[in-house]
Every structure is written in structure tokens, then in C-alpha cells.
Amino acid sequence: MLSEFSLIDRFFARRAARMRAAGSAHGDGVKDVEDASRGATLGIGDDCALIAPPAGEMLAISTDMLVEGRHFFADVDPHALGHKALAVNLSDLAAMGAKPQAFTLAFALPRADEAWLAAFSDGLFELAERFGCELIGGDTTAGPLNLCITVFGSVPPHVALRRDAARAGDDIWISGTLGDARAALGIARGEWHADAGDAAHLRRALERPEPRVALGLALRGVAHAALDISDGLAGDLMHILERSHMNATVNVDALPRSAALSRLPPEIQRRCTVAGGDDYELCFTAPVHARASIEKVSHNAGLLATRVGTISAPDLAAAVPAITWHDAAGTPLTLTLQGFDHFHAD
Amino acid sequence: MLSEFSLIDRFFARRAARMRAAGSAHGDGVKDVEDASRGATLGIGDDCALIAPPAGEMLAISTDMLVEGRHFFADVDPHALGHKALAVNLSDLAAMGAKPQAFTLAFALPRADEAWLAAFSDGLFELAERFGCELIGGDTTAGPLNLCITVFGSVPPHVALRRDAARAGDDIWISGTLGDARAALGIARGEWHADAGDAAHLRRALERPEPRVALGLALRGVAHAALDISDGLAGDLMHILERSHMNATVNVDALPRSAALSRLPPEIQRRCTVAGGDDYELCFTAPVHARASIEKVSHNAGLLATRVGTISAPDLAAAVPAITWHDAAGTPLTLTLQGFDHFHAD
């Protein structure tokens, strides 16, 4: 086993080295021990990699572990898995307003299947190359399939998009559309049905989420608080409210959705947009005077940004923050506790 | 499951917060967004943590994944596992001459066993606190037991102890003793026998390796190349030779060993010291004129450092580097290919 896994290490290391060389050729990825402010000084092959953020910036760091049977199916397309494993980490950088710089990859594999690994690494490196994010180290071992990526980006600390920065009166914005990934899961499970074209669109959202890196960078100094929606809007927005000590009001009918999702029954649209999970869109708050700026920077990032609600100061008597949900007519809606999956009108 | 795992997250986050608060109280871990050069500006609870190395230094980064059945037994003492999971990562920092700063922890667990987690986190945080290494983020999920730690240290790039810096004429040094962990494994497997006292000593080396952080820091500017011995001296020294394009000569009888290991048969001593694995001692090279300095800094770090061989320039015709092994009498020994486990005299 050792020699097989050692070969895999070399396979990934070679690919990383090619990317490194290509970066140098473009003149934007020069690796030089004299210059501590650019890229990685030392990548794969030593006890540690050595990196530093540009002068005056900090490293933003996030780690995610993906497990077979929980985060993906055993028969997942390995190219899509390679894409998604890195995409969900880049999404955390986007939510911080950080610029991707590097990542480490640790994984356990039940066996060394070269075709599977080739497709997986293609999916991974295609995304890494697109965002100039260099593989600087990792670990490979035999074991039940498990992927752990730690990603590094750079951001000046004063413009980092934190969860604790929402202010009363802020608009709540959502990038792109919500709910497609959850709809794809429901279709895969046979819970719901869509025609082949819609099902393919929804499945793509589940398998190949696009990290909103350009938007995150453009929101530096414009947005107040931000996060990426990975567990569903209802749960994730609560993280902003808890950290910012604020309340929120959200119009569920304003939540942006794809044409494919719009062709599913309205009840399913609500479940998917409010509590879907695996969206990897940004949820952010910003002052009212920033509306025109946000529409402009979103447009430049090739995305629609949609205002879906408002941040408000909490009731002084309330110990925990609350989200007030309503429909387009202004009728309040109550979210029940069963997995955030069911609504009923009060 | 989600709520259980969410509770676990909070359990670790609280412990990290206490450590953070204690660090601030000591005046050496102040977390302030205005000061990008100290500790973590933002720890657990946002999309990313934010950290930076001190001015002029770089972040040294290493990641290790530990899997049940491969790196530890299912019935491992969870306190020891918590210690070892972080220790093997700190050992990589030591081998780079880097000062521990922070770490992330991602893990998959088959179930949320609170007693197990309490012991695991005790072992983990006791070591983290001893080295001032702050938990800044992580991920928890259900799945087959898997631990992935990524560790961050700081080092000025010019004094980092790299693998590619060995020079012809350098002495080869080993910290502490080798082979105890491999001997413990052999005893646990019933291959060999030792009395209860020796077995307990050996087992402790296997379960609670001590990262040689103080020695690594003291070797900055003194040693040329270094690494930590995790897969056995024979394999790991080869990594230095490959990266430095050098050869080595090693006296197997000079390899330092504990009293407990010295009471096992000579053939087993050789197997364990040369190709044992899980040692987490430093192997480093240094010029002859540094001998007195190395003995002094090792003594200050509470360790014995032992000279075991010499680096030499490679034969120009040879494509790959080579280690020449000999015994105390100068008789050459040949290492066979069966797992580096058997010697025979030429």
C-alpha cells in the first residue's frame, strides 16, 4: 500500500509543480525565498510549506472535511467531487472577502484507483488553476474515503467580511439563486420530479457549486457582514444574527430561485430556498446607501444580487436573536422545528 | 446527528476560547484586529480564521490525517490520541525550526461519545496549551473515525530548516533515541517480548511522542537540513538526500536507543532504530564546526543529540542518492528491500 500511496503523492505533487511553474511563467506567482509577501516560498516536499500574506494583510484560513455517504454518494463523478471539495473551501474565502492563495489536501482512500484519482485531480486542479490557488502540501493514507482541504487566502483585516458586523437597518442580500442543490437531492432521492433538462440544471448546482470569490472581493468595504450559505439560509443567517446580536425580517417570496426550481411546487420552492443547504451563495448585509454599489459590483461579477430582508435591533428582553419570515403580501409565516422543512401560516 | 455534532463544535470552541482568554491574560496572546503580527485576529466562529506571522516571518504549514486501524487502534486511549494527533503536527513545525502558533482540527466520528471526546480534547488541549498553539477553526462530521489537523507556525524564511540544505561534510545528528515506538508495536503484536516496565516505557513513546519544538528553534542558523523521523530513519534520511542531492554514511551501532530497547535482541534493536517509524525525533545535518553549539543547545533543550554519520557529495554517475550503512567495526551492511526490516552483512 505504501508504495501505491507514495505514487499518488507524487502524482499530485507533479501537478502542483506544473501549476507553480505556469504561475511563475505568467510573472504573477514567482516563488522566491527573498520575497515573503508572494505565494508560497516552499511548497510540497518539505516538513512544512512556507507562505505569507502580502504586507499588511492576514491569512484567512478555513478547513472542511467531506465524507462519503454524508457529503457525497459513493458513485459520485470524481471530477465533480474534486471540483466541489475545493469549491466549498473557496466559498469560505469568498464569504470573508479573501483572495485565494493556497491549499492543503489530506485524503484517505480505500484503494489507489488511478482513473478515479486522475478525474478527481482534474476537477480539483481545474478550479485551483482558475483561482490561482496553489496546492502546497497534504497527506495521503489508506482508509474509508475522506477528503480534508484547508484553504488559505489573503485579506486586509479591516475589510474582512465578518459575521459579527451586521448593523440595524442593513439590507440583507443574497447572491445568485438558492435551493437548486436541495431540489437536486430531492429529485435524486425520488421525493420530487422534474423534467430531464431541469433535473440536469439542478444537479449541476449540487455537484459543481461556483465559489463567489469575485463578488466577495468586490464587497470589501461595501458590505458589513457576510457568510456563505452551506447549511440553508434559515440556519446560516442565524449565525450572522447571533454574532452581530441582531434580528432579521425576511420575505420568503423574494428569495431568488432558478427557472428550474420555479417549475417545482411552491411548497418545495420554499423548503429549498429557505432551508436547502449546499447553496454556496453569499448572504451579506449592507447599509441602504450601498444599494447602487452592490448592484454594480454584482453585475460586474456576473451575478444577480437580490435584497430579501432587513436587519433590526433586537428586543432588549430577548436572549436569542430571531428571524421574522413573511410572504410577499406581508403575512407572517412560522418556521417549525422539524428540520426547518415545513412552513405554516400563523 | 446534527445537533449532537453542533454541541461538539461548541465544546471545542469553548475550550479554545478559554485558552485564548488565558493567553490574553498572560499578555502574550493579545488578539487585536489592529495588530496583524500576533496570534489569531479572528478564531472559531466565522467563515475563516484570520492569522498572520510576525513581521518578516512566514507561516510554516503542515497537515496530517490519522485514520483508525492504520495510525491507531480502535481501543486507543482517547487522551493519548488527542496528544498524538497534535504532537505529530507540532513535530513537523519543529523540523522546520518554526514556532507553534495555531491549528485547525477537522474530524469525522462514528458517534458523539461525550466521555471519549472529553478525554480526547483534554489530551489535545494539554499539549496545545503547553506550546501556546491556539485552535482557530475546524469541522466536525459523522463518519468513520478520522482526524485531520493542520498546524501553523512562524519562522523567518532564511533560518527555516529545510530538507534541501544538507552539504558535503555535514555531520548527521539524531535527537533523543530511535526505535521505541516500533518496539512497542512489535510487543503489542506479540512479535517480541519485554518485561512490564520496559513495555510501559516503549508504549509511552508510541502513544505520547514529544515534539522537539525547543530543539528545532535552537537549531535555527546552526543546522543545515532537518526533518522529523516519522517513517523510520532509512526512509526519512533519504528525503534529505534526494532534496539535497547528497549521499550519506551511517553507523547503525551509533544510533541512539533507550535502555528499554537495548534489552531487546540486537537484531530487533537494528530494525527498530533504522526503520522503526513513529519516532518523531529530529534528524538534522550541520557543519563540523557546529558540534559544540549543537551539544550545548541540545542539552539546553533537555535532549541528547547524537552524531550518527556523515553527508558526502554523490558519485556523479549515480542518478539516485545512496545511504552507506556500516557497523561500529566499520563493516558495511546491506539493507534489503523487504520493508527495510532485515540486514545482512555483505
pLDDT digits (tens, 9 = 90+) for A187-199: 999 999 999 999 9
Nearest CA in chain B to A98: B48
Per-residue confidence at B216, pLDDT binned at 50, 70, 90?
A: very high
Beta-bridge partner residues of B323: B248
Q: Residues, chain B, total? A: 346
* Pair A22, B35: CB distance under 8 Å: no
Looking at chain B, the number of H-run helices and the number of E-run strands are: 10, 14
pLDDT digits (tens, 9 = 90+) for B118-133: 999 999 999 999 999 9
Residue A287 is predicted with a pLDDT of: 98
Please list every residue in chain A whose beta carbon sits closer than 8 Å to the beta carbon of residue B158: 33
pLDDT mean over B176-197: 95
pLDDT mean over A190-210: 95
Under an 8 A CB cutoff, do B67 and A93 touch?
no
Nearest CA in chain B to A144: B144
Most A CBs within 10 Å, among B2, B32, B46, to test the A interface: B46
Q: With 90 as the cut, is the pLDDT of residue A29 above it?
A: no
Give a three-class secondary structure readout of B227-295.
Answer: EEECCCHHHHHHHHHHHHCCEEEEEHHHCCCCHHHHCCCHHHHHHHHHHCCCCCEEEEEECHHHHHHHH
Backbone φ and ψ of A14, nearest 5°: -60, -45
Please list every residue in chain B whose beta carbon sits closer than 8 Å to the beta carbon of residue A52: 52-53, 57-59
Q: Distance from first CA to last CA of chain A, Å, rounded?
A: 60
Which residues, other chains included, contact A2 with Cβ-Cβ below 8 Å and sequence gap of 6+?
A: none
Residue A16 is predicted with a pLDDT of: 81
Which residues, other chains included, contact B124 with Cβ-Cβ below 8 Å and sequence gap of 6+?
A: B82, B83, B85, B86, B105
* Pair B45, A95: CB distance under 8 Å: no
Beta strands, E only, A199-280: 226-229, 247-251
Under an 8 A CB cutoff, do A65 and B148 touch?
yes
Which segments of chain B does DSSP mark as H helices, in order? 2-25, 78-96, 114-130, 180-188, 196-207, 213-218, 233-244, 259-262, 266-275, 291-300
Q: How far apart are CA B93 and CA B105, in angstroms?
A: 16
pLDDT mean over A105-116: 88
Per-residue confidence at A184, pLDDT binned at 50, 70, 90?
A: very high
Segment (H or E) for A267: helix A266-275
Please list every residue in chain A whose beta carbon sits closer than 8 Å to the beta carbon of residue B42: 160, 162
Which of B57, B150, B162 faces A46 most closely, judged by CB atoms? B162
Per-residue confidence at A44, pLDDT binned at 50, 70, 90?
A: confident
To the nearest whole Å, the CA of A291 is away from the closest chain B CA by 24
Under an 8 A CB cutoff, do A92 and B48 touch?
yes
| A163 annotated to a ligand binding site | yes
Nearest CA in chain A to B47: A92
Per-residue confidence at A3, pLDDT binned at 50, 70, 90?
A: low
Q: What kind of fold does domain A2-158 have according to CATH? A: 60s Ribosomal Protein L30; Chain: A; (3.30.1330)
Cell of B188: 503489542
Cell of A118: 486522475
Residue A326 is predicted with a pLDDT of: 93
Q: How far apart are CA B314 and CA B245, in angstroms?
A: 7
Under an 8 A CB cutoff, do B70 and A144 touch?
no
Nearest CA in chain A to B106: A65
Please list every residue in chain B whose beta carbon sits closer than 8 Å to the beta carbon of residue A4: none
Residues forming CATH 3.90.650.10 domain(s) in chain B: 161-334
pLDDT cut 70: percent of chain A above it: 89
Under an 8 A CB cutoff, do A67 and B163 touch?
no
The beta-carbon contacts of B239-244 under 8 Å, at least 24 apart in sequence, are B239/B163, B240/B163, B240/B166, B240/B283, B240/B285, B241/B166, B241/B311, B241/B321, B241/B322, B241/B323, B242/B320, B242/B321, B243/A45, B243/A46, B243/B162, B243/B163, B243/B164, B244/B163, B244/B164, B244/B165, B244/B166, B244/B167, B244/B311
Per-residue confidence at B338, pLDDT binned at 50, 70, 90?
A: very low
pLDDT digits (tens, 9 = 90+) for A249-287: 999 999 999 999 999 999 999 999 999 889 999 999 999
pLDDT digits (tens, 9 = 90+) for B229-283: 999 999 999 999 999 999 999 999 999 999 999 999 999 999 999 998 899 999 9
Residue A341 is predicted with a pLDDT of: 36
pLDDT digits (tens, 9 = 90+) for B38-97: 456 677 888 899 999 999 999 999 999 999 888 888 888 999 999 999 999 999 999 999
Q: With 50 as the cut, is the pLDDT of residue A123 above it?
A: yes
Under an 8 A CB cutoff, do B59 and A59 touch?
yes
For A161-345, which CATH superfamily applies? PurM-like C-terminal domain (3.90.650.10)
Give the residue with greater pLDDT, A231 vs A340. A231
pLDDT cut 70: percent of chain B above it: 89
Which residues, other chains included, contact A47 with Cβ-Cβ below 8 Å and sequence gap of 6+?
A: B60, B62, B92, B93, B95, B96, B163, B226, B227, B228
Which segments of A106-172 does DSSP mark as H helices, in order? 114-130
Backbone φ and ψ of B86, nearest 5°: -80, -35
Please list every residue in chain B whose beta carbon sits closer than 8 Å to the beta carbon of residue A228: 47
Q: With 50 as the cut, is the pLDDT of residue B1 above it?
A: no
Q: With 50 as the cut, is the pLDDT of residue A163 above it?
A: yes
Q: How far apart are CA B255 and CA A84, in angstroms?
A: 47
Under an 8 A CB cutoff, do B137 and A63 touch?
yes
Give the residue with greater pLDDT, A12 vs A341. A12
Under an 8 A CB cutoff, do A142 and B67 touch?
yes
Residue A299 is predicted with a pLDDT of: 95
To the nearest whole Å, the CA of A61 is away from the closest chain B CA by 5
pLDDT digits (tens, 9 = 90+) for B306-315: 999 999 998 8
Q: With 50 as the cut, is the pLDDT of residue A27 above it?
A: no
Residue B7 is predicted with a pLDDT of: 62
To the nearest whole Å, the CA of A36 is away from the closest chain B CA by 7
The alpha carbon of residue A333 and the mean position of all alpha carbons in its chain are separated, in whole angstroms, by 28
- Axis-axis angle for helices A196-207, A78-96 (nearest 10): 60
pLDDT digits (tens, 9 = 90+) for B131-160: 999 999 988 888 999 999 999 999 999 999
Please list every residue in chain B whose beta carbon sits closer than 8 Å to the beta carbon of residue A95: 47-48
| A47 annotated to a ligand binding site | yes
Give the residue with greater pLDDT, B139 vs B284. B284
Under an 8 A CB cutoff, do B136 and A46 touch?
no
CA atoms within 13 A on the CB side of A315: 8
To the nearest whole Å, the CA of A37 is away from the closest chain B CA by 9
pLDDT mean over A53-57: 93
Under an 8 A CB cutoff, do B67 and A143 touch?
yes
Residue B19 is predicted with a pLDDT of: 78
Which residues, other chains included, contact A144 with Cβ-Cβ below 8 Å and sequence gap of 6+?
A: A67, A68, A108, A110, B67, B143, B144, B146
| A63 annotated to a ligand binding site | yes
Cell of A320: 436569542
Segment (H or E) for A268: helix A266-275
To the nearest whole Å, the CA of B328 is away from the closest chain A CA by 31
Query: In sequence order, what DSSP letters do the residues of A56-111 get, joined into one string?
Result: T-EEEEEEEEEEBTTTB-TT--HHHHHHHHHHHHHHHHHHHTPEEEEEEEEEEESS
pLDDT mean over A93-99: 97
pLDDT mean over A318-331: 88
Residue A344 is predicted with a pLDDT of: 38
Considering chain B, what is the average pLDDT of its residues? 88
Residues forming CATH 3.30.1330.10 domain(s) in chain A: 2-158
pLDDT digits (tens, 9 = 90+) for A167-177: 999 999 999 99
pLDDT mean over B321-334: 91
Q: With 50 as the cut, is the pLDDT of residue A89 above it?
A: yes
Characterize A205-217 residue by residue with b for buried, 16 or more Cβ atoms within 10 angstroms of its Cβ, and e for exposed: bbbebbbbbbbbb
Q: What kind of fold does domain B161-334 have according to CATH? A: Phosphoribosyl-aminoimidazole Synthetase; Chain A, domain 2 (3.90.650)
Per-residue confidence at B336, pLDDT binned at 50, 70, 90?
A: low
Residue A295 is predicted with a pLDDT of: 97
Residues forming CATH 3.90.650.10 domain(s) in chain A: 161-345
Q: Residues, chain A, total? A: 346
Residue A328 is predicted with a pLDDT of: 92
Under an 8 A CB cutoff, do B144 and A148 touch?
no
Most B CBs within 10 Å, among A48, A283, A338, to test the B interface: A48
Q: How far apart are CA A234 and CA B63, in angstroms?
A: 33
